[in-house]
Structure 1
Amino acid sequence: MSSGSNSGGLMSSAGLVRYFDSDDRNAITINPKTVLAFCILFGVFVQVLSLTVA
């Protein structure tokens, strides 16, 4: 392989960076604390369910 060939790594990821950097006014925004609280409650729910069903 020659040293002048382009692997396309940086060039192909440029579109993704531009896509994820754009702010959309219609996008759903969720507070990170809400996501964390939901995950903790879901974990507790699964633990309680596994104790009662088993």
Structure 2
Amino acid sequence: MSSSDSGGLMSSAGLVRYFDAEDRNAITMDPRSVVAFGAMFGVLVLVLNAL
């Protein structure tokens, strides 16, 4: 049983490498601007519901 339990980390090593890689062509945004956009969108929805 212990031999089958030891393969879990090795089988996920490729996924860890895939998600750690950064794409240079990806769009990067500041997290504060994402939160600000979400807050403004929420306020816009509240204002439109009030009308």
TM-score (ref. length: structure 1): 0.69
% identical aligned pairs? 65
User: Which of the pair is proportionally richer in helix?
Assistant: 2
Per the normalisation by structure 2, the TM-score is 0.72
Gaps of 5+ in 2: none
CA RMSD of aligned residues (A): 1.9
Where in structure 1 do 4 or more consecutive aligned residues deviate above 2 Å?
2-16
**Which whole-Å deviations, capped at 9, do the CAs of 1:8-50 have from their partners, x for residues lacking one?**
6434432222112112111110111110110000000111111
Residue-pair matches, total: 51
